[in-house]
Amino acid sequence: MRAVRSCRLLRRLPAKHATAHFQSTGHPFIQSYEPGEDWFWNFTTSELYDSGPELAAPVSHPKDQPVPGPEGRVPANWAETLR
């Protein structure tokens, strides 16, 4: 799971929500929302950064929370609903 940190939107592949968000708003950066990951991606320059500025909490989903959401609460067709 990835977050567009400027507005807390999630990037979920294959829907590529963050890409669509960048294209519609011009917000160029996303940061990983995975525990222990601190990378940033710049859509404008296609550059990957190992780290970036310290952002407000929360910086990741809880370690015990499965992706894409709470276990047992995600419908089987979750990816289809993102399109």
CA 12 to the chain's CA centroid: 7
What average pLDDT does this structure show over 17-41?
A: 86
Phi, psi of 40 (to 5 degrees): -125, 150
- Give the residue from 2, 60, 64 showing the smallest Cα distance to 27: 2
Average pLDDT, the chain: 75
Q: Is the peptide bond before 68 cis (omega within 30 degrees of 0)?
A: yes
41, two tokens = 């991606």
What average pLDDT does this structure show over 63-76?
A: 70
Over residues 39-61, the pLDDT tens digits come to 888 989 989 899 888 888 888 88
Q: Is the pLDDT of residue 68 over 50?
A: yes
Note the pTM of the prediction, 2 decimals.
0.60
How far is 65 from 75, CA to CA, in rounded Å? 15
